[in-house]
């Protein structure tokens, strides 16, 4: 009995310990890792097709994520509602919460087309060159046709994330990533009867896979409710303006964080895009490699948000804190492995980009990318801790603090880069130094907030439904 008790109290087997977190995190790490593989494959194919197309895909994709970041973050915040409803035993509220998020996504998507002419002027503003602007604008336009599925899909995914059913997201993402990679190959190079559309083919493939992901989620939601009969999915389809108000009240600060953070990073990339072809191509490749660390970390972040929401819904802040501490350890081990690779084997990692590329041209890009990967190795540990701490705050609903912090700190990244370039003649290394310092500031502030106790008392669900 004493041995069993000791085992259950160990770091691995205790509630919200290593096994609990990894059981939910591994499917999402695989899922998000497959998205990293998709982005990697997409950009490798485009590098073989045309280096400018590779850079345009990243710039266009970042502008797209900036445009959809607010509605995506609001609908993704439904995860916190689902988790807290589940933790408090109010299962019949889950269906309504999910559908309000989906409707918010579908209503917001058409407005993005009205903003398109103004948004693509950013490419011109940062002197990207006529051909690059044309490619970036084309990619961005095709991606907008998948915006409704991208935004609504986050709320649909929240039905599974908030209940800890991470395997569903893993299988769905793996299927859609495989579909995307297959369509990329066919539509970029003109294989299997498809025309050779190049960059347009890459964008269309991504858009189709987003719609496939959304449709699969909705089908599985109805099937789950048909079997378990407790989530009120069909009746929950009607608008619930009180619940929409709560989602917007708590989700908007979270979306402001995502929006400002994404926009400032997009501006950072656009500033680098004006520093020349070698600088922007090296940066694109470096961030593509970085996606193998950061995107899987988003999976761990989703698990933390879900577990913290569940435990706070059950009125167990001690277990919510333990789940976060466990995720810190897992995140540090994971990023540490990639930091070693980026320091000691960067040339090996970059070989795939050199296939079918001009050897002399790629040698210069490769030398610069090696330096940038070492910047990434320096900050990814702190980036992972900041991201996990921020996920805890969002899982609790402590989004006002997150919003205020990001509004103050995030704009410093592009502003500092522009000042250094315009007034002091500094270049790429200055921009990456500022990026690294920016990550350190996020790490310090978010971890200090986590170490406090204020977030433990926050709840997003209705007061009368909270567990005493």
Instruction: Describe the chain by its helix, strand, coil percentages, rounded to 5.
Output: 85, 0, 15
Token representation of residue 206: 């991504």
Q: Check if the beta carbon of residue 170 is closer than 8 Å to that of residue 30.
A: yes
pLDDT, one tens digit per residue, over 294-332 is 777 888 888 898 888 888 888 888 999 999 999 999 998
pLDDT of residue 6: 45
Q: Across residues 234-259, what is the average pLDDT?
A: 85
pLDDT of residue 2: 54
Average pLDDT score over residue span 151-179: 91
* Neighbouring residues of 431: CB distance < 8 A, sequence distance ≥ 6: 268, 271, 272, 275, 417, 420, 421
Q: What is the DSSP string of 130-147?
A: HHHHHHHHHHHHHHHTTH
Question: pLDDT grade, residue 159 (50/70/90)?
Answer: very high
**pLDDT for 301:** 86
Residue 268 to residue 249: CA distance in whole angstroms: 29
pTM given for the model: 0.75
Residue 40 has pLDDT above 90, yes or no: no
209, 187 contact by CB (below 8 A): no
pLDDT at 13: 83
Q: At 337, phi and psi to the nearest 5?
A: -60, -45
Question: What confidence score (pLDDT) does residue 141 get?
Answer: 94
For a pLDDT cut of 70, what percent of the chain falls above it?
Answer: 94
pLDDT confidence bin for 358, thresholds 50/70/90: low
| 170, two tokens | 């893993």
Q: Inform me whether the pLDDT recorded for 8 exceeds 60.
A: no
The sign of the torsion formed by the CA atoms of 79, 83, 84, 89 equals positive
Q: What is the DSSP string of 57-118?
A: HHHHHHHHHHHHHHHHHHHHTHHHHHHHHHHHT-GGGHHHHHHHHHHHHHHHHHHHHHHHHH
Of 58-62, 342-346, 353-357, 438-442, give the lowest mean pLDDT range.
Answer: 353-357
pLDDT digit string, tens, across residues 398-408: 878 888 888 88
Backbone angles phi, psi at 274, to 5 degrees: -90, 0
Res. 228: pLDDT tops 80: yes
What is the C-alpha radius of gyration for the chain, rounded to an integer number of angstroms? 22
CA dist., res. 468 & res. 466, Å (int): 6
Q: By percentage, how much of the chain surpasses pLDDT 90?
A: 43
| Cα(438)–Cα(426) distance, integer angstroms | 18
CB under 8 Å to 95, separation ≥6 — which residues? 225, 231, 232, 233, 234, 235, 236, 237
- Tell which wins on pLDDT, 258 or 376: 376
């Amino acid at each position: 009995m004493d041995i069993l008790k000791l085992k259950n109290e160990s770091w691995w087997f205790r509630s919200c310990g290593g096994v609990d977190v990894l059981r939910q995190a591994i499917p999402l790490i695989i899922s998000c890792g497959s998205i990293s593989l998709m982005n990697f494959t997409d950009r490798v194919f485009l590098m073989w097709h045309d280096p400018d197309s590779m850079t345009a895909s990243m710039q266009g994709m970042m502008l797209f994520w900036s445009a959809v970041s607010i509605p995506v973050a609001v609908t993704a915040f439904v995860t916190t509602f689902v988790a807290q409803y589940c933790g408090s035993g109010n299962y019949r509220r889950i269906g309504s919460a999910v559908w309000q998020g989906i409707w918010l996504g579908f209503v917001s998507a058409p407005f993005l087309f009205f903003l398109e002419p103004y948004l693509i002027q950013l490419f011109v503003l940062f002197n990207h060159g006529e051909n690059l602007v044309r490619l970036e604008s084309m990619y961005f336009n095709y991606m907008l046709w998948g915006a409704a599925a991208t935004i609504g899909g986050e709320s649909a995914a929240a039905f599974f994330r908030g209940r800890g059913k991470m395997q569903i997201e893993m299988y769905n993402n793996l299927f859609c990533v495989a579909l995307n990679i297959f369509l990329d190959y066919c539509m970029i190079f003109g294989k299997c009867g498809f025309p050779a559309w190049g960059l347009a083919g890459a964008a269309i493939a991504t858009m189709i896979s987003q719609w496939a992901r959304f449709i699969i989620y909705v089908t599985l939601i109805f099937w789950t409710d048909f079997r378990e009969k407790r989530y009120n999915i069909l009746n929950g389809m009607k608008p619930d303006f009180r619940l929409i108000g709560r989602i917007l009240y708590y989700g908007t600060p979270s979306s402001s964080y995502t929006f400002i953070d994404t926009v400032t990073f997009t501006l950072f990339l656009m500033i680098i895009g004006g520093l020349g072809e070698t600088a922007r191509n090296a940066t694109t490749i470096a961030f593509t490699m970085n996606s193998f660390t950061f995107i899987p970390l988003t999976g761990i972040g989703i698990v933390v948000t879900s577990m913290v929401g569940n435990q706070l819904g059950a009125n167990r802040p001690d277990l919510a804190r333990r789940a976060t501490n466990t995720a810190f350890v897992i995140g540090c081990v994971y990023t540490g492995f990639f930091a070693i690779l980026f320091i000691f084997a960067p040339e090996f990692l970059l070989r795939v980009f050199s296939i079918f590329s001009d050897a002399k041209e790629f040698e210069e890009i490769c030398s610069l990318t090696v330096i940038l990967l070492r910047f990434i190795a320096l900050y990814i540990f702190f980036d992972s801790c900041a991201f996990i701490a921020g996920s805890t705050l969002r899982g609790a609903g402590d989004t006002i603090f997150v919003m205020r912090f990001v509004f103050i700190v995030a704009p410093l990244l592009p502003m500092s880069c522009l000042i250094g370039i315009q007034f002091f003649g500094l270049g790429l290394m200055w921009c990456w130094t500022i990026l690294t310092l920016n990550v350190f500031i996020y790490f310090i502030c978010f971890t200090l907030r986590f170490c406090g106790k204020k977030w433990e008392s926050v709840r997003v669900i209705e007061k009368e439904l909270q567990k005493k």
